[in-house]
Structure 1
Amino acid sequence: MKEEIAGHQSIIKYQNNEFTTVDDMIATEFPLTLYVNREEFATIVCSPTHLQELVLGFLASEGVIRRRADIQDIHLDDSKGFCHITLTKELTHNTAHYSKRMISSCCGKSREFYFVSDAATAKVSMTDKTIKADEIIYMMEQLQQSSTNFKQTGGLHNAAISDGHDFYIHRSDIGRHNALDKLYGYCIEQHIPIRDKVLIFSGRISSEILIKASKIGVGIILSKSAPTDLAIKLAHDLNITAVGFIRNGSFNIYSHPQRIVK
């Protein structure tokens, strides 16, 4: 299957008191079912791009793997929407929590799935990384400029991982957590240390996004939007610097401000 994050769709548009038929770009939604050691593990609804990175990042964030070497074989059949993963070890998770559980692309009750392994896999950041205020503004501007797919569809989340100066990689997905898993998977594949990296994100910093950032291992998360109160509490507990409302040359620091300098 050709990787396409969006496709053309004929729609009816109402504008200036008229109905017209126009061609529009619509975000692609794709279900990918994972089998781990021949056992059905989960189905992720995602954008059909960078799927191997998504699988690696998802399994790592759920504590199934710690490194690329934990996977003996990975076979992606994206024409049918399946990925078969063989580990170098037994699957020790209680699969009753995972089997056939849908991972939704939107915000909702299906996200309770992540609470199964959050306590075991969330990490307290130990980084002493600092970044300058003008670098924060610059990185968010770069993320916005890179988000061509969002501009076309209006239906995608965008994220990037950076050393505080330049992006390592930028990824988009209909699911905000999927975009972060793709970044995590890229770092695993490329053997990039994550501890001193910065996560730049287009959407709201919810508790699930803050937990995902802690699972990845970053100590700083930047967003153009706002955090929730629970996300701020978790950021304090997990020693993560959360910065939001990065817009028009200003931003708010919600936790651990010592990492942000002039």
Structure 2
Amino acid sequence: MHRKSCPEEYPITLVVNGYEVAVFQLTNQDLEDWAYGYLFSEGLIQHREDIQSLQIEPDFGAIRVVLSNGIDTEKMLSKKKHYTAGCGRGVTFFSMTDVKTFNKVQSNQTYKLSHLLKMRAEFAKNSPLYLETGGMHGACMVNEAGEMTIREDIGRHNAVDKVIGHAVRQGLNPKSLVLLTTGRVSYEMLSKAAKFGFSIIGSRTAATKQAVQLAKFLNIELVGYLRGKMAIVYTSKGKVIDDVTEQTGTQPNLRVLP
């Protein structure tokens, strides 16, 4: 029997403009993407140019960032912290009420269910840390051409921050991108995706009631249990087309909740 290695996590302190944000449990990979993604998700930056310098200090377990956008860092970081649910402890400064003020997603992009299922399967095959340890979360960003960007981490929200950070650094347009994740979609996970502007979010597992409510309000298509030849669409935005039933004649492949 092949014995997998254990997943690793490291305490890493994020320091912005000299202020300590928090200590995060992270997988020591793609940390620059994570920092960009987290800072974008929390509203501390809007563009890659808002970061003047970013220094990763592995010996001290720290990431030090200097911003160039003139934001009042002390005021922003004095807001009430909300600790994220699940593995890889994280923190967000956005409450559910705050998230409701985000811009609604305007994209009318549609995707076939067969395409999403295919991408989810490819995502699973191309997640090396999970395949090695069996204990990692992953996030995957898919463009219209089917090209995937995959990031992994001990925490599901950290993995999402990493793909968002990659997108911010590359200046990508979110309207044609799909976000896939291995983890449960909770309100703070939905808030990250909404802040960037993903119009479709797919997970291999469930979404919370709060995440579904926010997705409906922000015009995001939220799909759960994306696996095999089935899925549950929580939001009824018409952005996922069930072509699998048409091809196989078997039902139900796509379950749409009211």
Normalised TM-score (structure 1) = 0.82
| 1:96 equivalent in structure 2 | 78
Unaligned runs of at least 5 residues, structure 1? 1-14, 16-21
* Equivalent pairs, count: 240
Q: Does 2:33 match 1:53?
A: yes
- Structure 1 contact 220–241 (Cα < 8 Å) conserved: yes
Distance 2:90 2:32 in 1: 23
Q: Does 2:118 match 1:173?
A: no
Report the 3-state secondary structure (helix = DSSP H, G, I; strand = E; otherwise coil) of the residue aligned with 2:78.
Answer: helix
RMSD after superposition: 2.7
Deviations along 1:27-51, whole A, 9 cap, x unmatched?
Answer: 1111221211122222221101000
Report the 3-state secondary structure (helix = DSSP H, G, I; strand = E; otherwise coil) of the residue aligned with 2:105.
Answer: coil
Q: Does 2:112 match 1:125?
A: no
Q: Per the alignment, do residues 121 and 42 of structure 1 end up closer, same or farther by CA in structure 2, a change over 3 Å counting?
A: farther
Unaligned runs of at least 5 residues, structure 2? 244-258
Q: Per the alignment, do residues 121 and 92 of structure 1 end up closer, same or farther by CA in structure 2, a change over 3 Å counting?
A: farther
Report the 3-state secondary structure (helix = DSSP H, G, I; strand = E; otherwise coil) of the residue aligned with 1:27.
Answer: coil
Report the 3-state secondary structure (helix = DSSP H, G, I; strand = E; otherwise coil) of the residue aligned with 2:224.
Answer: strand
Q: Does 2:62 match 1:82?
A: yes
Q: Per the alignment, do residues 165 and 256 of structure 1 end up closer, same or farther by CA in structure 2, a change over 3 Å counting?
A: farther
Determine which structure has the larger strand proportion and give its number.
Answer: 1
Q: Per the alignment, do residues 155 and 146 of structure 1 end up closer, same or farther by CA in structure 2, a change over 3 Å counting?
A: same
Q: Does 2:187 match 1:202?
A: no
Deviations along 1:52-98, whole A, 9 cap, x unmatched?
Answer: 11000000000000001111111111222111111113332423237
| 1:11 equivalent in structure 2 | none
| 1:248 equivalent in structure 2 | 228
Distance 1:190 1:72 in 2: 16
Q: Does 2:18 match 1:38?
A: yes
Q: Percent of aligned positions with the same letter in both sequences? A: 30
Distance 2:44 2:138 in 1: 25
Matched to 1:130, the amino acid is T
Matched to 1:232, the amino acid is V
Deviations along 1:103-152, whole A, 9 cap, x unmatched?
Answer: 66835996564429943874421111111121011011111111232132
- Residue 224 of structure 1: CA displacement? 1.2
Matched to 2:10, the amino acid is F
Normalised TM-score (structure 2) = 0.83
- Residue 243 of structure 1: CA displacement? 0.9
Q: Per the alignment, do residues 227 and 103 of structure 1 end up closer, same or farther by CA in structure 2, a change over 3 Å counting?
A: closer
Q: Per the alignment, do residues 109 and 70 of structure 1 end up closer, same or farther by CA in structure 2, a change over 3 Å counting?
A: closer
Distance 1:187 1:255 in 2: 25
Q: Per the alignment, do residues 76 and 28 of structure 1 end up closer, same or farther by CA in structure 2, a change over 3 Å counting?
A: same
| 2:215 equivalent in structure 1 | 235
- Structure 2 contact 139–180 (Cα < 8 Å) conserved: yes
